[in-house]
Amino acid sequence: MPAPSLLTDRQKIVLQYRREGKTQQEIADILQTSRSNVSTIEKAAHENIRMAKEALAFMYSLDATLLCTLDAGGDLNHEAFLIYKAAKQFEIKVQYTAGALINRIISSVPEKLHGTIIREDINVYLNENGILYVC
CB 42 within 8 A of CB 18: yes
Q: Would you write out the chain's pLDDT as a tens digit for each of its 135 residues? A: 666 789 999 999 999 999 999 999 999 999 999 999 999 999 999 999 989 988 887 888 888 889 999 999 999 999 988 999 999 998 888 889 999 999 999 998 999 999 999 999 999 998 888 888 888
CB 84 within 8 A of CB 94: yes
Cα separation of 90 and 37, whole Å? 50
pTM of the predicted model as reported, rounded to 2 decimal places: 0.69
